[in-house]
Amino acid sequence: MKKNLNDYKDKIKKLPIKDKYTKKELLIDDFLVDKEGNVEIYYAPHNEYLNPKAKIFIIGITPGFQQMSTAIGVARKELESNSKIEDIQYKCKAAARFSGTLRKNIISMLDDIKLNEALKIESCSEVFEDKDYLLHTVSLIPYSVFVKQQNYSGHTPKLIKSDFLMQYVYENFIEEFKKLEYAEEVLLVPLGRAVEEVLLKLAEEKIINEKQILIGFPHPSGANVNRIPQLKENKESMIKAIEGWSKEKI
């Protein structure tokens, strides 16, 4: 059963009201969802809003600590004003989805491979703003995963080989994907090889269509020193894939 804000609102209310939190404040038993060895999963109200009409599905591995902190900060403030849970869930998503440098890099990379042209917009920044009806962002694992309290990157353990982590993919990501009105038409943008590997596995299992996967999109983290070379290497194939998608909508 997927956890949501209703399950954690009382625990979040115990936190002081602030924009950002430290790991000492959030990586505590109150928010611990599950653990195996040195892999720990903590709750974050980041993946609870679903845009069922989305045409673009940007997929990360797990919300990092920055996203977790941002989402909980928004939830804490909104709970103080007694906003509706559904409204808070949307506000958490809008504020935290690939926030900071990640979002800037994603937009730049998507524009570089001409997704903005396929969507007939000036820049893909618009899908994070007034045209966010086109976009849904999601994590394969809906909660924040840490290894020795560091952001999990899809390696050590390797995501696709971890039964512990893959159960969250099957129990959460797939169910969310199936709720999309245009599930068979949506363009799946995996952020990095670890996500791409999982999507290709799901395609082998006939859960999704491989033609929907934008293969070769690098992880947008500034720490990925190969991001620009990978983008250049795969640019033409991704442009062709987007052109095919925009003409046929799969």
pLDDT for 79 equals 96
Please check the confidence at residue 216 and state whether its pLDDT lies above 60.
yes
DSSP labels, the chain: ----HHHHHHHHTTSPP-S---HHHHSSGGGEEEEETTEEEE--TTS----TT-SEEEEESS--HHHHHHHHHHHHHHHHTT--HHHHHHHHHHHHTTTTHHHHHHHHHHHHTTHHHHTTSS-GGGGGTTTGGGEEEEESSSSEEEETTEE--STTTTGGG-HHHHHHIIIIIHHHHHT-TTTTTPEEEESSHHHHHHHHHHHHTTSS-GGGB-TTPPP--TT-TTHHHHHHHHHHHHHHHHHHHHHH--
- The domain that contains 80 carries what CATH number? 3.40.470
Kindly tell me the burial class for residue 109, based on how many C-beta atoms sit within 10 Å of its own C-beta (0-12, 13-18, 19 or more): buried
What's the rounded Cα separation, in Å, for the pair 215 and 239? 11
Examine residue 231 and state whether it is found in any structural domain, yes or no: yes
Per-residue pLDDT, averaged over 2-7, amounts to 92
What's the rounded Cα separation, in Å, for the pair 223 and 91? 28
Number of domains in the chain: 1
> Taking the CA atoms of the chain, what radius of gyration do you get in angstroms?
18
Range of the domain at 74: 29-248
Q: Are 89 and 44 in contact (CB under 8 A)?
A: no
Closest CA to 147 of 22, 70, 35: 35
Examine residue 33 and state whether it is found in any structural domain, yes or no: yes
Q: Which residues contact 196 (CB under 8 A, 6 or more apart)?
A: 190, 213, 215, 216, 217
Output the CA–CA distances (angstroms, integers) from residue 122 to 88, 116, 152, 241, in the order listed: 29, 6, 34, 20
Please check the confidence at residue 114 and state whether its pLDDT lies above 80.
yes
Supply the mean pLDDT for the chain.
Answer: 93
Give 140-167 pLDDT, tens digit per residue: 999 999 999 999 999 999 999 999 999 9
Give 233-247 pLDDT, tens digit per residue: 999 999 999 999 988
Examine residue 14 and state whether it is found in any structural domain, yes or no: no
Give 191-205 pLDDT, tens digit per residue: 999 999 999 999 999
Examine residue 19 and state whether it is found in any structural domain, yes or no: no
Residue, of 197 and 100, whose pLDDT is higher? 197
Examine residue 112 and state whether it is found in any structural domain, yes or no: yes
Give 12-48 pLDDT, tens digit per residue: 999 999 989 999 999 999 999 999 999 999 999 989 9
What's the rounded Cα separation, in Å, for the pair 177 and 15? 33
Examine residue 174 and state whether it is found in any structural domain, yes or no: yes
Examine residue 45 and state whether it is found in any structural domain, yes or no: yes
pLDDT for 218 equals 95
Residue, of 227 and 97, whose pLDDT is higher? 227
Examine residue 118 and state whether it is found in any structural domain, yes or no: yes
